Amino acid sequence: YSGNIWTGEIESKKKNNESYWQQTTIIPVTNQQGKIKYFMSINEEITQRKEMEEKLRTKENAILSSINAIVLTNLSGKITYVNPSFLKMWSFDSEKKILGRPVFSLWKKGGQYVRIMDTVLNDGGWLGEVTARSHNGRLFPVQMSASIVKDEDNKPLSIMASFVDITKQKRMEKNFKKFKKISDEADYGSVIYDLQGTIIYGNDSFAQMHGYETKDLIGKNISFLFDENTPEKVEELLSDLKRNGKIIGKEQWHVHKTGNRFPLLVTSTIIDDEQFHQPFVAGTMIDITKMKDAEKQIIQHAEEVKMINQELNVAREQLATLNQDLEQKVKERTTEINKLLKQKDGFINQLGHDLRTPLTPMFALLPLIEKRMTDEKGRNYVSMIKRNSRFMKDLVNKTIMYAKLNSDNIEFSFTEINIHSFINELQQDFNHFLNEKNGFLINNTEKDWLVKADPLQLKEVFQNLISNAVKYKKEEKPVHITIDSKRTDDGKIQFMIQDDGMGMTKDQISNVFDEFFKADDARSDLDSHGLGLNICKRIIEKHNGSIWAVSEGIGKGTTFFFTINIKEV
């Protein structure tokens, strides 16, 4: 032993085995020669102090490791201590940059500091939200809790404040308000509940589809809205959500307040709730009762359609057989008709020749007979015979032509024709006839246009149309006939033969190209045989053209149009 005084803390036990702490000082006592005679011990119990120190160490460790930002200030508001969480939250890299600064420099609104300090000093504490300003100028919301730290004599020593960054919470509150606003107005059900199934929020549509008011559902477990297998189905739903995080478009059956079951299409997702630090479920629900009813009807209709299709298939097979029979009969009948038509055309052709043969000598003898007639009555008879003979000859010629045009064997001799010159020649042939009938023909066709046509057949068309214009002129008035031409978009020439004669009704126009049709039944049978326009139609169609007539009514004249191919250059 060195003979020095020793001081230290010793943990001892009392008789009842209770531990206590004492501070001990051991002093050596020596004689005149400097030898230790004995030791003197001075003891002071410090159990209470040790407990206070332990509490202080615990508090200090808690402050150091706290996730909350903690700051200590003197009573004037100058910072004396900050923990690591505070440095991180306010973006400081060292406490030296913050110690000694006024605490109001940490806030956006300095004026708010005065009110808070007054409340803390007067009431002993303050709790609320403030907007903080970090070291780099970033503004962020914090939850602040401040209180006075007092000594053993209850005198104020300092102020301690704790801060929690509530940025995420504020963002969630903002998002939740948006969600709630949209959800409250939605026509589909929207609900939020925790992982135990307790309903936190439900919109009016969600409540109404179940027959309740919203207030009746908040705080209730969502399981009571499921059908009779509620517990198992809720557990299954929550299990799927925990495993996958979401459920999309799942069909669920819920129970209405009346007890009626109805189907819903449910989409649910787990959302992390920063405010309550636990996840919850957000779900949307659409009542698909009508859709399910429609599905049933579709299935029912599908069965009906299937049966109808089967019946249709049977009917189709029967129709196919019937069609085959009909096609065969039509084929046979068509063959018979074609045979009859050929026989008819042959008969008409032969008949025409047979009729034409006796007419030839008659036309040769009639002028001689007429010269020998000395009395007026006899000459009138001969004149009547000549007129009827001419009609008979014309009818025979038209009949023969009609028969030929009906035949597939007829051949046309196509050649290049200058339209203007062609009509001029035709006009010369008609001069005597036009002069007799008080008619005038005007040729307005283009002088250099060429068409490819059979000249004899084309002449027949113009002769028929001009003759008709003269025949059906107004009584005791001259008739003016204009022939014009123009090019069409489909590469043809369109002819227009216009007169100012009697005109026709709509009914007459629609039938004017029919066989043996006469526009004026009141006229003598010798004026028309009703084949001319039908022959014109057949000739134009053989030229790959078309023909039609237009009239504004009785007394307003008629215009005939027909098209024919332009000569290819």
Last residue of a domain, one of 287, 309, 336: 287
> How many other C-beta atoms are found inside a 10 Å radius of the C-beta of residue 176?
17
> How many other C-beta atoms are found inside a 10 Å radius of the C-beta of residue 342?
14
The dihedral over CA atoms of 134, 140, 145, 149, expressed in degrees to the nearest 10, equals 0
Q: Whole domain around residue 454: which residue ranges?
A: 411-565
Q: Are residues 113 and 190 in the same domain?
A: no
Name the domain count of the chain. 4
Instruction: Tell me if 311 is assigned to some domain.
Output: no
- What pLDDT is attached to residue 526? 47
> How many other C-beta atoms are found inside a 10 Å radius of the C-beta of residue 418?
17
Instruction: Tell me if 337 is assigned to some domain.
Output: no
Instruction: Tell me if 57 is assigned to some domain.
Output: no
Strands of the sheet with 199-202, listed across from one edge: 199-202, 189-194, 278-287, 261-273, 246-255
Q: Are residues 256 and 183 in the same domain?
A: yes
Measure Cα distances from 408 to 112, 119, 263, 538 in Å: 111, 119, 74, 12
Last residue of a domain, one of 118, 148, 165: 165
H or E stretch covering 407 = none
Last residue of a domain, one of 165, 189, 211: 165
Q: Are residues 149 and 184 in the same domain?
A: no
Q: Are residues 538 and 467 in the same domain?
A: yes
Q: Are residues 195 and 243 in the same domain?
A: yes
CA distance linking residue 206 with residue 285, whole number of Å: 7
Instruction: Tell me if 480 is assigned to some domain.
Output: yes
- Tokens in use for 283? 């779900």
CA distance linking residue 344 with residue 351, whole number of Å: 10
Measure Cα distances from 431 to 412, 435, 439, 457, 464 in Å: 28, 6, 9, 20, 15
Give me the average pLDDT of each 10-residue run along the chain (569 residues). 73 81 80 77 74 58 67 89 89 88 79 80 89 88 89 84 87 75 81 86 90 92 78 69 81 89 88 62 88 86 87 87 88 82 69 66 72 77 72 69 70 90 91 87 92 91 91 85 92 92 90 79 54 90 93 92 79
**DSSP three-state, residue 223:** helix
- Tokens in use for 444? 């307005």
Q: Are residues 463 and 522 in the same domain?
A: yes
Residue 336 CA, chain-centre distance (Å), reads 58
Map tokens 């149309």 to a residue: 465
DSSP letter for each residue of 130-162: EEEE-TTS-EEEEEEEEEEEE-TTS-EEEEEEE
- What pLDDT is attached to residue 58? 54
**DSSP three-state, residue 213:** coil
Contact 545, 472 (CB under 8 A): no
Instruction: Tell me if 514 is assigned to some domain.
Output: yes
Q: Are residues 461 and 537 in the same domain?
A: yes
Measure Cα distances from 1 to 6, 311, 551 in Å: 11, 124, 152
The one-letter amino acid at 3 = G
The one-letter amino acid at 177 = K
Residue 376 CA, chain-centre distance (Å), reads 92
CATH number for position 420: 3.30.565.10
> How many other C-beta atoms are found inside a 10 Å radius of the C-beta of residue 506?
8
Instruction: Tell me if 341 is assigned to some domain.
Output: no
Q: Say what the pTM is.
A: 0.39
Instruction: Tell me if 340 is assigned to some domain.
Output: no
Question: Which residues lie below 8 Å from residue 427, measured CB to CB, with a gap of 6+?
Answer: 441, 443
Q: Are residues 195 and 160 in the same domain?
A: no
DSSP letter for each residue of 482-498: EEEEEE-TTSEEEEEEE
Q: Are residues 283 and 191 in the same domain?
A: yes
Closest by CA to 400, choosing from 460, 458, 310, 451, is: 460
Q: Are residues 94 and 188 in the same domain?
A: no
Closest by CA to 558, choosing from 474, 490, 491, 460, is: 474
Q: Are residues 147 and 10 in the same domain?
A: no
Report CA torsion sign: 418, 419, 420, 426: positive
Instruction: Tell me if 16 is assigned to some domain.
Output: yes
CATH number for position 243: 3.30.450.20
Q: Are residues 445 and 544 in the same domain?
A: yes
